């Protein structure tokens, strides 16, 4: 969570709003995810003050500071923390732990286990009912932070945040609080104030031109104009190159601007691409948008997808076997929340990590597949890499264990391996049928032709706690059904 100060006239926020700005994040060793190992929490990383001062000084000396925003985080909690961060060179400040505490987090550090007793980090509906956080609590907290910052600035005789940034002469060392270990430390390098030779700015003031008005998404938005405004179905063929990155994100933004989270009807906007897509193809793809790619793609395919559909298969002129070759890169469908994906080929490492609602079919994955997954359904009709399902607390994966060695590749810390039941079989059949329909996959065809026998080779991967939740929900639904009949 960012706090961009509005404590004075001509704030940084106003400057940022005028143009696209690159941002450099200096993240300190404090704070961090509640799922981190205890050794990392206590013994890894350095204070953000060190990295921030060095980054700011280097940018100033090279006349680059005015072109980027500097953001820092790591247990920032008070107005005094913001004041120090600003004086050392930052204009944006990240709040994580403090904001969670305000919303009710009690720091159990069970975030990766899905059993948070106050309902913050869990998929368990019973536990989520315990969450009592309100947005008003956050508003009050940040008002207090801003008020403390105003008082500090008033004491320093400063009206605007910009007048604090990089002015390290406003800081001094309080030697009274230094103990025997720290009393001889030399802080002069941290408090050094460099002078830019060309008198460039010491905070973000010059919007960088990134040629964003000429990206592929602008063309897509123009082609989909009637679909967005009138909900008319549209389909177009597009050539794509690996220099076309985050294709679909701005298009999805336009759809969300008009229709919100509900999006459009399925397949209202259909773009068929041919070529090699750059990073983050189909990122944040909204409901109602279908991206079909004949070719291959780089990393982060479908990052944050929330309702769209992505279909990828090899160029039809190729002769290699798709089930034996990588077609998309690493960290695909990271943080997916909803939608469908049908990939004829193998993905790199960390496929579907943090997936919370996507339905996906793929013909093989690298190491760390379905890591930290919390929801959705994934069907893998091919080989997997090592450490599959590490930290998986929700959702279900169905793996076609051709070689019979999947158990040795699966991280069994939080999941169980189970046989396929009739309900699972219907889900698998439906998804593989769609996969064949969209990609003409040979592997999918083989499975569908001898489906009953092939089911014996599938393994169900389900988190232990998630299985318990599903059983509880089924019992509750059954009780409600019986009650409705009796009444």
Phi-psi sector, 260: left (phi>0), alpha (psi -120 to 50), beta: left
Check pLDDT > 50 for residue 247: yes
CATH number assigned to the domain covering 2-177: 3.20.20.70
pLDDT in tens, 270-288: 999 999 999 999 999 999 9
Share of the chain above pLDDT 90, in %: 70
Write the class of the CATH domain 212-486: mainly beta
pTM of the model: 0.71
Nearest to 245 by CA among 297, 195, 205: 297
Higher pLDDT among residues 38 and 176, named by residue: 176
Sketch the domain layout of the chain as residue ranges: 2-177, 212-486
Partners of residue 68 on adjacent β-strands:
22
Check pLDDT > 60 for residue 229: yes
- Of 203-212, 285-294, 399-408, 450-459, which range is least confident? 203-212
pLDDT at 272: 98
Check pLDDT > 60 for residue 420: yes
pLDDT in tens, 285-327: 999 999 999 999 999 999 999 999 999 999 999 888 999 999 9
pLDDT at 11: 28
pLDDT at 4: 36
pLDDT tier, 487 (very low <50, low <70, confident <90, very high otherwise)? low
Check pLDDT > 90 for residue 115: no
DSSP per residue, 320-389: S-GGGSEEE-SSTTTT--EEEEEESSEE-SSTTTT-EEEEEEES---TTTTTT-EEEEEEE-S---SSBT
Check pLDDT > 90 for residue 409: yes
**What count of Cα atoms within 13 Å lies in the side-chain half-sphere of residue 414?**
23
Q: Are 336 and 357 in contact (CB under 8 A)?
A: yes
pLDDT at 286: 96
pLDDT at 35: 64
pLDDT at 235: 96
Q: Give the CA distances from residue 185 to residues 87, 145, 181, in Å, rounded to whole numbers and listed in that order.
A: 20, 30, 8
Strand 234-240 relative to strand 269-277, pairing: parallel
Nearest to 85 by CA among 26, 160, 1: 26
Check pLDDT > 50 for residue 8: no
C-alpha span between 201 and 70 (Å, rounded): 13
Element (H, E) at 218: helix 216-223
C-alpha span between 484 and 90 (Å, rounded): 60
Check pLDDT > 60 for residue 458: yes
Check pLDDT > 90 for residue 14: no
pLDDT in tens, 81-99: 999 999 999 999 999 889 9
pLDDT at 2: 38
Partners of residue 458 on adjacent β-strands:
400
Long-range contacts at 221-227 (CB < 8 A, ≥ 24 apart): 221/250, 221/251, 221/254, 223/271, 224/251, 224/254, 224/269, 227/264, 227/268, 227/269
Task: Share the mean pLDDT of the chain.
Answer: 89
pLDDT at 484: 58
- Of 82-91, 187-196, 433-442, which range is least confident? 187-196
- The radius of gyration computed from the CA coordinates of the chain, to the nearest angstrom, equals 26
Q: Are 290 and 264 in contact (CB under 8 A)?
A: no
pLDDT at 124: 83
The 8-class DSSP code of residue 151 comes to H
pLDDT at 196: 73
pLDDT tier, 10 (very low <50, low <70, confident <90, very high otherwise)? very low
pLDDT in tens, 351-372: 999 999 999 999 999 999 999 9
pLDDT tier, 112 (very low <50, low <70, confident <90, very high otherwise)? confident
C-alpha span between 171 and 83 (Å, rounded): 10
pLDDT tier, 166 (very low <50, low <70, confident <90, very high otherwise)? very high
Q: Are 413 and 435 in contact (CB under 8 A)?
A: no
């Amino acid at each position: 969570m960012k706090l961009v100060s509005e404590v004075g006239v001509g704030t940084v926020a106003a400057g940022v709003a005028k143009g696209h700005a690159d941002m450099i994040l200096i993240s300190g060793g404090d704070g961090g995810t509640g799922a981190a190992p205890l050794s990392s929490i206590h013994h890894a990383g350095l204070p953000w003050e060190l990295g921030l001062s060095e980054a700011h000084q280097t940018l100033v000396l090279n006349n680059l500071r005015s072109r980027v925003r500097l953001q820092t985080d790591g247990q920032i909690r008070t107005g005094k923390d913001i004041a120090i961060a600003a004086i050392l060179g930052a204009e944006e400040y990240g709040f994580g732990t403090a904001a969670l505490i305000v919303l009710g987090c009690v720091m159990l550090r069970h975030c990766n286990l899905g059993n948070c007793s106050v309902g913050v980090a869990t998929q368990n509906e019973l536990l989520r009912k315990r969450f009592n956080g309100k947005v008003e609590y956050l508003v009050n907290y940040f008002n207090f932070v801003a008020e403390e910052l105003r008082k500090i600035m008033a004491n320093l005789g400063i009206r605007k945040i910009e007048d604090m940034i990089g002015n390290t002469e406003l800081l001094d060392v309080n030697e009274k609080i230094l103990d025997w270990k720290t009393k001889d430390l030399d802080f002069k390098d941290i408090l050094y104030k460099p002078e830019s030779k060309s008198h460039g700015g010491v905070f973000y003031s010059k919007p960088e031109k990134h040629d964003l008005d000429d990206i592929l998404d602008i063309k897509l938005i123009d082609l989909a104009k009637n679909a967005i405004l009138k909900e008319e179905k549209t389909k177009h063929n597009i050539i794509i190159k690996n220099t076309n990155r985050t294709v679909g994100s701005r298009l999805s933004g336009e759809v969300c601007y008009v229709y919100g989270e509900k999006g459009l009807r399925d397949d209202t906007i259909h773009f068929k691409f041919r070529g090699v897509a750059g990073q983050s193809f189909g990122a944040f793809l909204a409901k109602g948008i279908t991206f079909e790619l004949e070719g291959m793609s780089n990393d982060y395919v479908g990052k944050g997808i929330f309702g769209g559909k992505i279909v990828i298969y090899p160029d039809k002129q190729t002769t290699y076997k798709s089930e034996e070759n990588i077609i998309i890169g690493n960290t695909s469908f990271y943080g997916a929340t909803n939608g469908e994906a049908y990939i004829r080929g193998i993905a790199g490492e960390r496929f579907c990590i943090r997936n919370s609602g996507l339905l996906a079919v793929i013909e093989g994955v690298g190491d760390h597949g379905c890591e930290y997954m919390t929801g959705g359904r994934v069907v893998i009709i091919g080989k997997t890499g090592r450490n599959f399902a590490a930290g998986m607390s929700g959702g279900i994966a169905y793996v076609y264990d051709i070689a019979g060695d999947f158990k040795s590749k699966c991280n069994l810390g939080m999941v169980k391996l189970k046989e396929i039941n009739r309900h699972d079989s219907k889900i698998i059949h439906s998804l593989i049928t769609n996969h064949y329909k969209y990609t003409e996959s040979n592997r999918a065809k083989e499975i569908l032709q001898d489906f009953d026998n092939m089911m014996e080779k599938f393994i169900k991967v389900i988190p232990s706690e998630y299985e318990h939740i599903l059983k509880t929900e089924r019992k509750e639904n059954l009780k409600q059904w019986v009650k409705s009949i009796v009444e």
